[in-house]
Structure 1
Amino acid sequence: MGNIIYWFRRDLRISDNVGFFNACNNGKSIIPVFILDDNILMDPDVGKRRVQFMYSCVKNLDKELEKIGGRLILRRGKALQELKKLVNQYDVESIYFNRDYTPYARIRDKEIWEYFRKEGIEVKSFKDTVLHEKREIVKGDGNPYIVFTYYYKKWINKIKDNILPEIKKIEIVEGVDALDIAKLDSDDIEFDYKNTYRDLVYKTVYRYIEDRDIPYKDGTSRISPYLRFGVLSIRKIYNDMISLMGELEDHKKRESIQGFIRQLAWRDFYFQILYNFPYVDKESFLTKYRDLNWENDEKLYNTWCEGRTGYPLVDAGMRQLLKEGWMHNRLRMIVASFLTKDLLIDWRWGERHFKRYLIDYDLPLNNGGWQWAASTGTDAQPYFRIFNPISQSKRYDPEGIYIKRYVDELRDIPIKYIHEPHKMPNKALDYPSPIVDHKRQRERALELYQI
């Protein structure tokens, strides 16, 4: 009997992994492989911090496999070429993997599918990354939803897949040569998915609606990096949340969990948008905004990247990104609005910067978020909704706790001036005055969108 290659990609776990479960229950020996894809790793916009975090996930996966009798085979190169080598060297009859939905992944997987099918090798893919994919949720005419509210109404009532049984033991093909996993450089990256998820289940989710927009409370789930690389199962998260709701009588807590579940639906929504409208990777979803006359001032852009705009909350968010490879979700919206509608810079510039630094960067979600903020995307905020960075600061960080955490120059400033330090009299600060006037830029942004 031939062996099965199980190709791990963005599903770096063995628990509740649809493709891996099917491979292991086929009665064949397994070659568990992860390929360091040069087409991805050599992209100049793929940040080092995210790569190191991925290495941490790979190391964890290897440890998990070892517990059930396996070890991860690590290869580096172009995916098709490395799979060819494994098929040619070992008695392989099938290649299994879970689906990915980015334009690059779809082209790569189609090429792999077509090549091995001609060679008589079975290729099977599975849904694992999302709760609902592709065109599972469509309108009555068969077209995909482009308005979230309508999508969500159908999404919330559609039956979700159950969690799969645990895999206790696997049979692996012995003697497969591999790269040394121990040499993957991930020493300075925090990897704590078990405690992060435990905090979500037992603490964060009960106050999610109340705290998620308050950056200094850090009431978001923090599970996004682990979802990005598939260390956590989206089905387990959903099913755990439903179970929690079933145990609660407290209406406020139930409402909070429902709010969190709604975010899972947003995730599925953006995945299906990218799948059905792959052009959004490079272009605005709304065709009428594809030719906006962005000013794209490089000096202003670099100042935004560095967190030196003179707007404290914006700068705190940008500095958190540089320092931690992560940014609070409310801040992601604020800094995106500031770049596009205060600085009049193309949303793609901001998206690229996030790609370089975010550990949890995920094309469907990053793209959807940026186009939402820029009013160019599906179901985006109206172009005339422009965040006032000072009002946002006063509302979401009234005492400047978050600002002082990330903007060192403002740690000793009186609360009275924390949101507008340039107004503080007789005080020399090593902190810039606002690089633009928000009121004036708002007027110019409204003119920009009048096309």
Structure 2
Amino acid sequence: MNAPWLFWHRRDLRLADNLGLAQLAARTTAITGLVVLEPGLWQGPEAAPSRLWFLLASVAELQQAWRRAGSQLLVLQGDPLRQVPRLAARLEVVGLAFNEDVEPGPRQRDEQLERALLQRGVAVQRCWDQLLVPPEQVVTGSGEPYKVYGPYRRAWFNQAKADPVAAPENLTGPDHGRLAAASEAVPLLQRLPTPAELGCVWKGCSPCRPGEQAARQQLDGFVAGALSRYEPERNYPGREATSCLSAALRFGTVGARTVWQASQGAMATQGQECVEVQQAITVWQQELAWREFYQQALFHFPALAEGAFRPRWRQFPWRNRPEHFAAWCEGRTGYPIVDAAMRQLLETGWMHNRCRMIVASFLTKDLICDWRWGEAFFMQHLVDGDLAANNGGWQWSASSGMDPRPLRIFNPSTQATRFDEDGDYVRRWLPELASCGTADLLSGRIAPLERQGYPEPLVDHRQQQARFRQLYAVHVRGET
């Protein structure tokens, strides 16, 4: 019953509602936690200081939770393929448990690691935890994965959702001798580094709060407050109408079953009050389905990580002007709603979802830059940067992905007028334009004396829209 095991945390930085950990705790109480800090977290091309900050702060809280449970969380720095087998050998554990990942890179690594451990006589336990419904479970009548969100959502809603599981208690960790032997063989950290010590400086203030306790507080606060008005207010970036749980779900500081249970509880109580509240809760649940749609898509179609889902988009003649891309990145395109959103990203590591669609459409359809440039830039800055969601969102905006409507173009001025009608969001992130009249601010037609150094529009939307449609007609139209 008490054979020693390691539990490796990756996208599940919590003890409560952790399916893999709960399954392991049912067979043994001798469990030691593990987190591996891989160099790519701060050295890779898509390393984000905001995500490193969120990760380290969440791990620090997780260490305390493991101590309260009676064991400890070890932090290992390096390549898991090299270091985890060494750690397992020195600790003399009989097995390693972890929760599955949908991303192709981690999946390939996990397969290699499992083979290496099994050769050494170390058992491996794998479990699906990050999704409410495992990706293999929602398929079409012919057994194929879904490629369109609508049918997937309907099938997903019909699937049973498990209840949250309790955090384990009364665990025991490794004895001093084995821990000392492990410390001599592998780079176990005696204390967590700061982002600055790893060469990443993060001075922003994110609406996403790290750690399991904060995630639960944010969830409870959202369910008790903004959830009842989520639809239609979720579309207005100047209002606090979203949960800001995207980073918590990405890092697993909150469990998917906990979130679903909270939404169902709200439906059973608040949802009885009126149809509008029921609709608001349903729309939020549909957003959870969107998250899982993109996750299962990446699981079944790993090539999405490299390029467009639709074949003709793989040879699309993007214009890719570096100076245009730089202006987009720095929030100086001359389109206020676009620049406000990019400044929000740079300052907070987060961007409202409506604005993510606006800026993605602008980069791909107005500046005619490859969507993969924007995808990579987002991953370099987003605190909630997630390959499946980020890739899925960018391909949706570029029209290159799984979407029955192949061409979609957002007019920045129209979007601003509809969803920031008073200009509050733009004024917050572009203070130099605070004195501009609202109509001018939203349209972008700002008089020279009012610009205060703010740039003229980089391109003409109407002209670029026509140019993009011509390219689309020649290179993409007719694809099925």
TM-score (norm 1): 0.96
Residues 176-187 of structure 1 correspond to what in structure 2 (within 5 A)? 176=179, 177=183, 178-185=188-195
Pair 1:39–1:217, CA change in 2 (3 A):
closer
**Residue in 1 aligned with 2:294?**
270
| Alignment check: 8 A CA contact 2:48 2:380 kept | yes
What SS is found at the alignment partner of 2:315?
A: coil
Partner of 1:23: 24
Question: Structure 1 residue 226 and structure 2 residue 236: aligned?
Answer: no
Distance 1:171 1:426 in 2: 69
2:419 corresponds, among 389, 396, 418, to 396
The one-letter amino acid of 2:441's match is: I
d(CA) in 1 for partners of 2:319, 2:379: 22
Maintained 8 Å contact 1:69/1:170: yes
1:205 is aligned, of 223, 227, 245, to 227
State the distance in 1 between where 2:147 and 2:90 align.
46
Match of 1:441 in 2: 464
Find 1:375's aligned residue among 374, 384, 399.
399
Deviation of 1:413 after TM superposition, in Å, equals 1.5
Deviates more, 1:244-253 or 1:401-410: 244-253
Alignment of 1:16-95 (within 5 A): 16-95=17-96
> Would you say 1:115 and 2:116 are equivalent positions?
yes
Per-residue CA deviations over 1:274-297 (Å, capped at 9, x if unaligned) read 011100101100112111000000
Deviation by residue 1:235-270 (Cα, 9 ceiling, x = unmatched): 110011112211231221111111000011111110
Once the two structures are superposed, the pairs formed by residues 130-149 of structure 1 within 5 Å of their partners are 130-149=131-150
SS across alignment from 1:430: coil
CA distance in 1, matches of 2:21, 2:80: 18
Deviation at 1:381, TM superposition (A): 4.3
Q: 1:265 to 1:73 in 2, by over 3 A?
A: same
Equivalent pair of 2:146/2:152 in contact (CA under 8 Å): yes
Q: Is the 2:8–2:96 Cα contact (8 Å) retained in structure 1?
A: yes
- The runs of at least 4 aligned residues of structure 1 exceeding 6 Å deviation read none
Q: What CA distance in whole angstroms lies between the structure 2 residues aligned with 1:205 and 1:428?
A: 38
Distance 1:396 1:121, change over 3 A: same
**Are residue 361 (structure 1) and residue 385 (structure 2) matched?**
yes
Aligned position for 1:334 = 358
Specify whether residues 116 and 356 from structure 1 end up closer, same or farther in structure 2 by C-alpha distance, changes over 3 A only: same
Q: Is the 8 A contact 1:46 1:355 kept in 2?
A: yes
Question: 1:241 corresponds to which residue?
Answer: 263
* More displaced stretch, 440-449 vs 164-173: 164-173
Equivalent residues, number: 450
1:310·1:435 contact (CA, 8 Å) conserved in 2?
Answer: yes
Q: 1:216 maps to which residue? A: 238
Report if the CA contact (8 A) 1:133-1:271 is conserved.
Answer: no
More displaced stretch, 51-60 vs 332-341 = 51-60
Residue identity in the other structure for 1:432:
P
Aligned to 1:101: 102
Q: Which amino acid aligns with 2:462?
A: K
CA contact (8 A) 1:35 1:82 kept: no
Match of 2:14 in 1: 13
| 1:301 aligned partner | 325
> Could you tell me which amino acid in structure 1 is paired with residue 366 of structure 2?
D
Alignment correspondent of 2:478? none
Are the equivalent residues in 2 in contact too, given 1:2–1:93 (CA < 8 A)? yes
| TM-score normalized with structure 2 length | 0.91
Identity of aligned residues (%): 34
Q: 1:31 to 1:10 in 2, by over 3 A?
A: same
CA distance change for structure 1 residues 237 and 428 in 2, over 3 Å: closer, same or farther? Answer: closer
The 3-state SS of whatever aligns with 1:183 is coil
Distance 1:39 1:438 in 2: 38
AA partner of residue 410 (structure 1):
L
Alignment CA distance shift 1:438-1:166 (3 Å): same
Please provide the CA RMSD for this pair.
Answer: 1.6
Secondary structure at the counterpart of residue 98 of structure 2? strand
Tell me the alpha carbon deviations over residues 110-135 of structure 1, each in whole angstroms, 9 at most, x when there is no partner: 10011111222111110100112222
Q: Would you say the 8 A contact 2:433–2:450 is kept in 1? A: no
What letter matches 2:364 in structure 1?
T
Question: Runs of 5+ in structure 2 lacking a partner?
Answer: 197-201, 476-480
For residues 182-205 of structure 1, give each alpha carbon's deviation from its aligned partner in whole angstroms, at most 9, with x where no partner exists: 433488565332332222111121
The Cα offsets for residues 26-57 of structure 1, whole Å up to 9 and x where unpaired, read as: 12411211010224443122111211111011
- Indicate the larger mover: 418-427 or 208-217: 418-427
Counterpart-to-counterpart distance in 1, 2:45 and 2:401: 25
How far did 1:86 drift? 1.2
Residue 420 to residue 210, structure 1, CA distance change in 2 (3 Å): closer
Contact 1:57 1:231 in 2 (8 A): yes
